[in-house]
Amino acid sequence: MTSASLSGRTVLVTGATSGIGYETARQLAERGATVLVHGRTAEEAQAAADRLIATAGIDAARLCAYGADFTRLDEVEVLAHRVIEAHPHLDVLVNNAAIAAPERHTVTADGNEVAFQVNFLAHYLLTCLLEPALTSDPGGRVVNVSSSLHRTANIQWSDPNRARRYSRLAAYAQSQLALTVFAADPRVTAVSLHPGVCETSLRPLYAHEGDSAAKGAAHVVRLCDPATEIVNGAYYDRDERVAPAPAATENRSVQRLNKLASLLVGHTA
């Protein structure tokens, strides 16, 4: 199947140095998009870009490397400002970066449980700050790479850090539910997606084996394509649109989450 060209489109992929993020960057660039490759450090992002140039024959002019450690919200702010300066028009933001919650309860320098910050709060802040670039032309969209585990979760509104009762699986699932709820926010058209269980560093949370990261990435890329019509707040399991957990579509949840997130990132978005 020959895929339509995405030339002229600019896409930022967070967590693009390995796994689904790296494969998403590769597939987008192969189809002609300009891809902003995000990694935890500028060096890691550049190494991923160099690998794409060397192994996939991607034109270096179509890749831009950016570093930002999502355990530090000030680095997320710097990333957003640098992206807007260089790319005042952004077609797609793929919120993909994610970590498995650690065994022990861990809090970032910003005071948030680490999985909640890396998997959700950093993306919340980044999306809010990039809103001017994503809405500079009609058709800008956000693709949140979430997880089917969001269905097992609840958001602990009074203790989002889960300081009182911590379980790594519950912390990870909460971060994915928050990301899924956030897709229903009306500011920028957004969808969320469970890309399937893939062979990535997160696979042990799910199963003994999984699909290739490239297969998971293909589902992400499909939602980046303007030819794929999307509805704000929609949730996809691979390439099928399905209903997310009930909380993800409740207006009250969306408003509560916005309030909580803007408080935790120290921004009134």
Residues with Cβ within 8 Å of 174's Cβ and at least 6 positions away in sequence, in order, are 115, 116, 153, 154, 155, 156, 160, 162
Report helix, strand or coil for 37: strand
Go through 84-93 and write b for each residue having 16 or more CB atoms within 10 A of its CB, e for each that does not: beebeebbbb
Cα-only R_g, the chain: 17
Q: What are phi and psi of 150, to 5 degrees?
A: -60, -25
Q: Are 49 and 37 in contact (CB under 8 A)?
A: yes
Q: How far apart are CA 161 and CA 113, in angstroms?
A: 5
Residues with Cβ within 8 Å of 260's Cβ and at least 6 positions away in sequence, in order, are 155, 157, 160
Q: How far apart are CA 37 and CA 29, in angstroms?
A: 10
Catalytic residue numbers, as ranges: 172
Intra-chain end-to-end CA distance of the chain, in Å: 42
